[in-house]
């Protein structure tokens, strides 16, 4: 799988989330997929879908700003814009096994509304 193929897989994954296409998302993950975020530590595939999958009808769009691929790993930074005008920017670290995603680590970024930073509680 080339770097371009991996970047295309990431783009397709974001499109599947936006379309609320759980089957396509599931098919892009390996059987031993792991998901980590500031709230989740190495969730397996079943737990990820039970805990983290939710309807995406609140999302207006994703703007993939950059994707960097090196070997079997990639970073993607994106802006997610909600239908209520709020937005946030995250970076995700992807690991690949063959043509599937074997892991995602999410790093949360700042939240915005109407172009202004929303201060987070400390």
* pLDDT exceeds cutoff 90 at 23: yes
Count of C-beta atoms within a 10 Å radius of residue 28: 16
Confidence grade of residue 121 (pLDDT, cut at 50, 70, 90): low
**What is the pLDDT, as a whole number, of residue 55?**
73
Taking the model in full, what pTM does it have?
0.89
Tens of pLDDT, residues 73-120? 999 999 999 998 888 899 999 999 999 999 999 998 877 777 787 776
Tens of pLDDT, residues 34-80? 999 988 999 999 999 998 887 778 899 999 999 999 999 999 999 99
- The domains found in the chain, sorted by start residue, are 3-113 (3.10.450.50)
**What is the pLDDT, as a whole number, of residue 91?**
97
Over the chain, what is the mean pLDDT? Answer: 92
The DSSP code sequence of 68-98 is EEETTEEEEEEEEEETTSEEEEEEEEEEEET
Which secondary-structure segment (H or E) carries 7? helix 3-18
């Amino acid at each position: 799988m080339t770097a371009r193929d991996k970047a295309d897989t990431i783009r397709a994954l974001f499109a599947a989330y936006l379309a609320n296409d759980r089957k396509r998302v599931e098919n892009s993950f390996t059987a031993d997929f792991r998901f980590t975020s500031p709230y989740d530590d190495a969730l397996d595939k079943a737990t990820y879908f039970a805990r983290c999958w939710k309807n995406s009808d609140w999302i207006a769009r994703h703007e993939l700003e950059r994707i960097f691929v090196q070997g079997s790993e990639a970073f993607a930074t994106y802006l997610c814009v909600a239908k209520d005008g709020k937005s946030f920017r995250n970076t995700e670290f992807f690991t690949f096994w063959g043509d599937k995603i074997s892991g995602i680590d999410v790093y949360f970024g700042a939240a915005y509304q109407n172009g202004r930073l929303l201060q987070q509680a400390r």
